[in-house]
Amino acid sequence: MRGTQIRPARADDEERIRCFLAGLSLHTQTLRFFTGISTPAAGLVRTLLATDERRDALVATTVASGEIVGHAMSFQGDCADVEIAVVVADRWQGQGIGPQLVDTLLLRASVRGARTVGMDVLGENRRVLRLIRRLWPDARMKVSSGSVEVTAMIDPAGLFAEQRSGGTPLTA
């Protein structure tokens, strides 16, 4: 995470999100969106930035240039209180940005009352499935058509401890 920061997504991030998505490898695009996206559609970009009482969105940016290197979103779900999706730029993967985005997103959802989290993960996404097993050893996983539907309990005490408690602008 060195050299990066996490903040809420903003409407003026539209061009930065478009560049971020276009810079993802086909493999990373497929793991996140279950398909490749050659040119990010305006509707997808707007969806990734949308926030309201049902949706939240965060970005990880470089401190130096403000370039977006990670994106996370949540929305009130059907299979869980909140469903999440996260993607990190290829060259920034493996540096802790994804787990930090997840923790921050779940902290914000927990403050809003969420107790369970859900996500759909491609079965071939071994890195994320290992992370899920580490974070939520009791998670329920249901395999269907090449993807894994995950449902787990959110541990607010652990999230607040990791954020060193006390509120931050990200919990507001």
Q: Write the single-letter amino acid at 67.
A: E
Encode pLDDT of 137-157 as tens digits: 999 999 998 999 999 999 877
Residue 142 burial by Cβ neighbours in a 10 Å radius (0-12, 13-18, 19+):
exposed
Encode pLDDT of 87-108 as tens digits: 999 999 999 999 999 999 999 9
Which residues of the chain are modeled with pLDDT < 70? 1, 160-172
Given the structure tokens 């329920």, which residue do they identify? 140
In 63-93, which positions are buried (b, 16+ CB within 10 angstroms) versus exposed (e)?
Answer: eeeebbbbbbbbbebeebbbbbbbbbbeebe
With H, G, I as helix, E, B as strand and everything else as coil, classify residue 115: coil
Q: Which tokens sit at 123? A: 């079965």
pLDDT at 166: 45
Round to whole Å and give the CA distance between 82 and 98. Answer: 17
What letter does residue 105 receive in the DSSP assignment?
Answer: H
Q: Which of 85, 90, 83 is nearest to 48 (CA)?
A: 85
Q: Which tokens sit at 100? A: 């930090």
Q: Which tokens sit at 117? A: 């989290």
Quote the pTM value. 0.90
pLDDT at 139: 96
pLDDT at 160: 63
pLDDT at 142: 96
With a CB cutoff of 8 Å and minimum separation 6, the contacts of 106 are: 74, 82, 84, 114, 117, 154, 159
